[in-house]
Amino acid sequence: MSKELAKTYDPKGIEDRLYKKWEDNGYFHATADRSKKPFTIVMPPPNITGQLHMGHALDNTMQDILIRYKRMQGYNALWQPGTDHAAIATEVKVIESLKKQGIDKEDLGRDGFLEKCWEWRKEYGGRIIKQLKKLGSSADWERERFTMDEGCSDAVLEVFIKLYEQGYIYKGSRIVNWCPVCQTSISDAEVEHEEQDGFFWHINYPVVGEEGRFVEIATTRPETMFGDTAVAVNPEDERYKDIIGKTLMLPFVNREIPVIADAYVDKEFGTGCVKITPAHDPNDFEVGKRHNLEEIVVINDDATMNKNAGKFAGMDRYECRKALVKELEEMGLLVKVVPHSHNVGTHDRCGTTVEPMIKQQWFVKMDELIKPAVEAVKTGKINLLPKRMEKTYFNWTDNIRDWCISRQLWWGHRIPAYYCEDCGEMVVAKKAPEKCPKCGCVHMKQDEDTLDTWFSSALWPFSTLGWPEKTEDLDYFYPNDVLVTGYDIIFFWVIRMIFSGFAQMGEEPFHTVLFHGLVRDSQGRKMSKSLGNGIDPLEVIDKYGADALRLTLITGNAPGNDMRFYWERVEASRNFANKVWNASRFIMMNIGDTELTVPAAEDLLAEDKWILSKVNTLAKEMTENMDKFEMGIAVQKVYDFIWDEFCDWYIEMTKRRTYNREKDPKSANAALYTLKEVLTQALKMLHPFMPFITEEIFCTLHPEEDTIMLADWPVYEEARNFAKEESMVERCKELVKSVRNRRSEMDVPPSRKAAVHIVSENEEVRDIFEAEKDMYAGLMGASEVRIQSDKTGIAEDAVSIVIPDAVVYIPLEDLVDMAKEKERLEKEQARLEKELARSKGMLSNERFLSKAPEAKVQEEKDKLAKYEQMMEQVKAQLASMK
């Protein structure tokens, strides 16, 4: 073995070099191969505006662990990568960039602006991919896709047209979530509801024709009253039965509105009278449809009031609210203001409070499309991990609304609908028709809107494999096997991929969805820009290496659970890497250029069989854990095995044999062979979690091998189950630990050797300790070991240690230097005599007893009792020495 590991482990010196080697050799690339079983994971596409954050790091580390594990198991493993055009986020970034240059989006026009977006994508689109490579992600970068590349764009058009023709996509006026800042509609999934302190404003609406009679309504959004077209009461509410069918005068606009009866109204909530504003509330919209009410929009796209707000027109919605409430009070129509905490919808991208508004938009009809997605999870065709995520999943599917898919943006997939400028006829097609099919006019204009970003990413599992073309890759790699994602995008992405898979491919897009939690800071807070508590994964990699970060993220990780990030844990992970490196280096230095041979069975000692049996069981248990996606449990097992069993025990056990190889070359060969074999197996099992360090060590240990990535995953062998030797060595370990603990308690320096007597009435136990004497004697600092059936010849003052089925005795004089100990005890006796004299003097002083606080006197009495007890012990020890 001519190659050597560097003296110290330096991740910076190896990680970039090894990643380039892997890429250059095409180890990540997968092609359809019918002789192998496929295993496919599709990468959640990061935004082209993205910067690697801890959530990305965790998500991609988990995927990389699974793909490396399956690759080593012999699967044809494909990890399909790509990036998302992220319509809203990218458009906002490009607009901000243009503003800094003094350029307005509108001045550029649509085509000019799109050019700038593509330039942005070219400059920043690959940034996060480079960062994922720093993490060690072994995705098939040769297959990298983009949601707006030619193939994915064709898939989007194909699906839109197909769903439109089937009647699932329609254009209509419905209430949508409108973001006044981003100036676009957004889906329900993109609205974050947060608890906000607000008010209920109680307002009197006069009853027409009944002077002095009012109906009291309560609202959290008084500025929408200009769009009221009715007031509703519950038909069973006795209080209001006499006013159903009458009309009220709407303040300010002096428009009469009817009082209607609808079961939607909760009699117990508020006043029992609800203002109905169909154009600005989703529930009111439904009530309006039932009662054929007019829909009056009163708020502009930028959240200012429009002409329907009369003299308040042009005001911001909140300015209007303030002025309106003041005037209502002056008019005597404001009854009261009641504090009220309620959920307010905000846009998850910009944090702006969304405005429910009636808009002409494109929608996907969801009631039928969602059914196969529900059934697949109910029947177990798709497995959600952890299982508790099913509750969240079904809560969403049970309450699903039609999906608003149009966005008032320029960047994205433009809706393939074309309108005749003469007769208004609409045609949905992949390309603009040459002429209007209705009137023959050649002036056709495309719909201005683009599609919701999630419309394209919903097709990701099959569009990335070549659909709608019937490709070999699609036939071979689809359905995917596992989707790894955060629990926070179950609605955005997971459910949409599932129903799209059934709708377009006729089967589920993946068999398992593995949800992970969030990475929080050390205080348990969500990492965010506003808190300034985010930690850059690249900073961690630069300081400690990618392997240390990966190990930190996966240790203790359980599906669906959040985790906290501690720098101390990263340091511990780096220390583990150092341990593995130093142990490997020590083993290689001992092997040197020795030609090792496979040892005969009789040449393997109990400790060799013990560690071979342990690593064999580890392979079995880790495989079971990995197949259940229990990556946190699996990595803890290999970590404990390497640090504890292998490094702290087995390497120490073998030193006497490797150092004395000339006296017993067979035994030395067996030890070195076993060291190399077990290290090799352990490196393989550690590889998916810490790919860089394991690659460097493995290829140095095995210069004939190209990479550990394609090495076979260790498999349990019944022939390597050495239960008897495991039991023997574990008994010896228990002996060593017990003796070490007692020596530590007595502050015996490691260099001081002592005779050890092991007394057991059990012959089988005596035989084990006799047979393994050479192995454990040095580990517990024994000058000699005697094994006997009784206490014959053992000094009375010997220290005793009880272990299972035996008692260990160590002569006190072997542990303690009697002359030094006597001198120490005599000094302690002199010190205690002074303390006793002082304490007794104080407690016999009447002045002290009468003037000192009671607590002080009691403290001195406690000291006296302690000194007297210590003196007794010192005198007893001195007496025993005489």
Confidence label for 297 from pLDDT (cuts 50, 70 and 90): very high
> Would you say residue 251 lies in a domain?
yes
> Would you say residue 605 lies in a domain?
yes
Q: How confident is the model over 692-727, as pLDDT tens digits?
A: 999 999 999 999 999 999 999 999 999 999 999 999
Closest CA to 225 of 174, 280, 181: 280
Verify that 717 and 579 share a domain, yes or no. yes
Q: What is the mean pLDDT of residues 683-692?
A: 98
Closest CA to 689 of 633, 729, 733: 633
Verify that 704 and 573 share a domain, yes or no. yes
Verify that 217 and 282 share a domain, yes or no. yes
Q: How confident is the model over 460-477, as pLDDT tens digits?
A: 999 999 999 999 999 999
Confidence label for 530 from pLDDT (cuts 50, 70 and 90): low
Q: How confident is the model over 135-160, as pLDDT tens digits?
A: 999 999 999 999 999 999 999 999 99
> Would you say residue 801 lies in a domain?
yes
Q: How confident is the model over 353-390, as pLDDT tens digits?
A: 888 989 888 999 999 999 999 999 999 999 999 999 99
pLDDT at 846 over 60: yes
Whole-structure pTM value? 0.84
pLDDT at 795 over 90: no
pLDDT, position 420:
95
pLDDT, position 188:
73
**For the purposes of burial, counting CB atoms within 10 Å of the CB of 541, is it exposed (0-12), middle (13-18) or buried (19 or more)?**
buried
User: Of the ranges 131-145, 318-332, 531-545, 707-721, which one carries the lowest mean pLDDT score?
Assistant: 531-545
Distance in angstroms (rounded) separating the CA atoms of residues 77 and 31: 9
Q: Which DSSP letter does residue 207 get? A: B
Distance in angstroms (rounded) separating the CA atoms of residues 124 and 122: 6
Mean pLDDT of the chain: 91
What are the tokens at 408?
Answer: 């008032």
Q: How confident is the model over 624-634, as pLDDT tens digits?
A: 999 999 999 99
pLDDT, position 568:
93
Q: Report the CATH number that the domain containing residue 840 is assigned in CATH.
A: 1.10.287
What percentage of the chain carries pLDDT values higher than 70? Answer: 99
Torsion of CA 276, 280, 286, 292, to 10 degrees: 60
pLDDT at 2 over 60: no
Distance in angstroms (rounded) separating the CA atoms of residues 426 and 430: 13
Verify that 756 and 676 share a domain, yes or no. no
The number of domains in the chain is 4
pLDDT at 311 over 60: yes
Please say which residue of 314, 341, 368 terminates a domain: 341
Q: Which amino acid is at 378?
A: K
Please say which residue of 659, 687, 721 terminates a domain: 721
DSSP string spanning 403-469?
EE-EES-SSSPBP-EEEETTT--EEE-SS--SS-TTT----EEE-S-EE-HHHHHTTHHHHTTTTTS
Verify that 286 and 297 share a domain, yes or no. yes
Containing structural domain, residue 578: 566-721
Confidence label for 882 from pLDDT (cuts 50, 70 and 90): low
Please say which residue of 326, 341, 356 terminates a domain: 341
Where are the strands (E) in 262-389, listed by range? 273-276, 334-347, 355-364, 383-385
> Would you say residue 674 lies in a domain?
yes
Q: Report the CATH number that the domain containing residue 623 is assigned in CATH.
A: 1.10.730.10
The distance from CA 463 to its chain's CA centroid, rounded to whole angstroms, is 26
Verify that 646 and 704 share a domain, yes or no. yes
> Would you say residue 19 lies in a domain?
no
pLDDT at 330 over 80: yes
Verify that 651 and 791 share a domain, yes or no. no
What string of H, E and C letters represents the secondary structure of 345-374?
EEECCCCCECEEEEEEEEEECCCCCCHHHH
> Would you say residue 66 lies in a domain?
no
Q: How confident is the model over 171-216, as pLDDT tens digits?
A: 998 888 899 888 888 777 677 777 878 888 999 999 998 888 999 9
802 bridge partner residues? 807
pLDDT at 122 over 70: yes
Verify that 658 and 638 share a domain, yes or no. yes
pLDDT, position 644:
95
> Would you say residue 9 lies in a domain?
no
Distance in angstroms (rounded) separating the CA atoms of residues 6 and 25: 24
Q: Are strands 184-186 and 191-206 parallel, antiparallel or unpaired?
A: unpaired
Distance in angstroms (rounded) separating the CA atoms of residues 109 and 116: 11
What percentage of the chain carries pLDDT values higher than 90? Answer: 66
pLDDT, position 562:
82
Residue 529 in marked binding region: yes
Verify that 239 and 316 share a domain, yes or no. yes
pLDDT at 169 over 90: yes
What string of H, E and C letters represents the secondary structure of 553-619?
HHCCCCCCCCEECCHHHHHHHHHHHHHHHHHHHHHHHHHCCCCCCCCCHHHCCHHHHHHHHHHHHHH
Verify that 630 and 759 share a domain, yes or no. no
Verify that 318 and 204 share a domain, yes or no. yes
Q: 493 or 546: whose pLDDT is higher?
A: 546
Closest CA to 770 of 804, 728, 724: 728
Q: What is the mean pLDDT of residues 406-418?
A: 95
Distance in angstroms (rounded) separating the CA atoms of residues 277 and 294: 9
Q: How confident is the model over 44-99, as pLDDT tens digits?
A: 999 888 788 888 899 999 999 999 999 999 999 999 999 999 988 898 889 889 99
* Cα distances (angstroms) measured from residue 643 to each of 103, 575, 582: 60, 11, 11
Q: 160 or 874: whose pLDDT is higher?
A: 160
pLDDT at 1 over 70: no
Verify that 711 and 836 share a domain, yes or no. no
Strand order in the sheet with 782-788: 782-788, 754-759, 806-810, 799-803
> Would you say residue 346 lies in a domain?
no
Q: What is the mean pLDDT of residues 627-655?
A: 96
